[in-house]
Amino acid sequence: MSQFAILRTVRKPDNIRKPESKTAATMIPGTLTFYTNPASRGQIVRWMLEEVGTPYQTVLLDSGMAMKAPEYLAINPMGKVPAIRHGQIVVTETAAICAYLADAFPEARLAPAPGSSLRGPYYRWLFFAAGPFEAASSNRALGFVVPADREKMIGYGTYDRVVDVLEHAVSQDAYLLGDVFTAADVYLGAQIGLALWFGTLEKRPAFVDYWSRISNRKAAIRARQIDDALLAKKAAQS
Ligand SMILES: N[C@@H](CCC(=O)N[C@@H](CS)C(=O)NCC(=O)O)C(=O)O
């Protein structure tokens, strides 16, 4: 008996994951639900959803108990927003949500096609924003400075280097990938906008120009109007 045959006999059929049919694997599920709080990183996903232009329903969660309730922890065990549910597919983490939506709705043209050479820089800047830039910004906001002898083990090295790399990235062309706007601009751009607003990022001309270019898009304006209206409603109720 060949080794292949032995393996086949000892593995129980129930334990073997059947390959998904092409239809199941590529099926775009139904309702799109967006879990958010208007004063959160959910603003970034709102912008992405408005760029995509597909209908979605919104579930608003107050920070605190609502996000830590069992019903929501079943969606995001981190007890944080944003999150989305697309049919049976749940995605958390703002950068992942932006990337997922761009791929799930290719007609919105917010990601280079798989296999395109632009996919490299697209991933690069999405992950740079979610990793080094987010960590460096958060530490900066908390006043934490990486000790010089620890820079080698910290993924972002130094805050100053992150900012210089970012400045170069946003000053080469209109957008991160050249003349084509993508989900990487939504995610990294929104992080820049927030950092400029919070005062944790120096107002270098490259950042200010890039931010004014992308934040004046119709979808970005629409997203801000929706979240601002929700915030105003909440303020009026309290
Ligand atoms: N890494 C997560 C961070 C999510 C996050 O920190 N969300 C904050 C709002 S911006 C939150 O839900 N805070 C409420 C809490 O932790 O109770 C992402 O990128 O989506």
Q: Over 80: is that where the pLDDT of 58 sits?
A: yes
Phi, psi of 144 (to 5 degrees): -90, 125
Residue 234 lies in a domain: no
Grade residue 238 by pLDDT with cuts at 50, 70 and 90.
Answer: confident
- Residue 17, in any domain of the structure: no
- Residues contacting residue 110 through CB under 8 Å, at least 6 positions apart: 48, 51, 52, 101, 102, 181, 182, 183, 186
**What pLDDT score was predicted for residue 16?**
36
Q: Tens digits of per-residue pLDDT, 209-221?
A: 999 999 999 999 9
User: What one-letter code names the amino acid at 207?
Assistant: F
Task: Please indicate, yes or no, whether residues 98 and 123 belong to a single structural domain of this protein.
Answer: no
Environment class of 158 (CB within 10 Å of its CB; exposed 0-12, middle 13-18, buried 19+): middle
Tens of pLDDT along 113-153? 999 999 999 999 999 999 999 999 999 999 999 999 999 99
Residues 6 or more apart in contact with residue 198 via CB below 8 angstroms: 141
Task: Dump pLDDT digits (tens) for 91-100.
Answer: 999 999 999 9
Record the tokens describing residue 73, joined without a space: 């922890």
Strand, helix or coil for residue 90: strand
Say if residues 95 and 187 touch (Cβ distance below 8 Å). Answer: yes
Contact status, residue 61 vs residue 81, Cβ threshold 8 Å: yes
Instruction: Give, using CA atoms, the residue closest to atom 5 of ligand 1.
Output: 80
Q: Mark which of 73, 108, 143 sits at the end of a domain.
A: 108
Which residue segment(s) compose the domain that 95 sits in?
24-108
H or E segment to which residue 101 belongs: helix 94-104
pTM, full prediction: 0.89
CATH number for the domain spanning 206: value is 1.20.1050.10
In sequence order, the 6+-apart residues with CB closer than 8 A to the CB of 44 are 82, 94, 98, 186, 187, 190, 191
Do 45 and 93 sit in the same domain of this protein?
yes
- What is the 83 CA–ligand 1 centroid distance (Å)? 10
Nearest CA to ligand 1 atom 18: 93
pLDDT (0 to 100) of residue 163: 98
User: Does residue 40's CB lie within 6 angstroms of at least one atom of ligand 1?
Assistant: yes
Q: Which of 55, 77, 108 is the last residue of a domain?
A: 108
Same domain, 167 and 203: yes
Ligand 1 in reach of 43 Cβ (< 6 A) = no
Confidence of residue 63 (pLDDT cuts 50, 70, 90): confident
Cα(109) to ligand 1 centroid in Å equals 27
C-alpha of residue 44 to centroid of ligand 1, in Å:
12
Cα distances (angstroms) measured from residue 117 to each of 86, 124, 174: 28, 12, 18
Residue 6 maps to a domain? no
For residues 104 and 53, state if they share a domain.
yes
Over 70: is that where the pLDDT of 111 sits?
A: yes
Return the axis-axis angle of helices 119-128 and 94-104, rounded to nearest 10°: 150
Query: Which helix (H) or strand (E) covers residue 168, if one does?
Result: helix 159-170
Q: Examine the domain organization and report whether 149 and 85 are in the same domain.
A: no
Distance 92 CA to ligand 1 centre (A): 10
The total domain count for the chain is 2
Question: Same domain, yes or no, for 101 and 61?
Answer: yes
- Which of 46, 35, 36 lies closest to 86 in space, CA to CA? 35
Residues 133 and 205 in one domain: yes
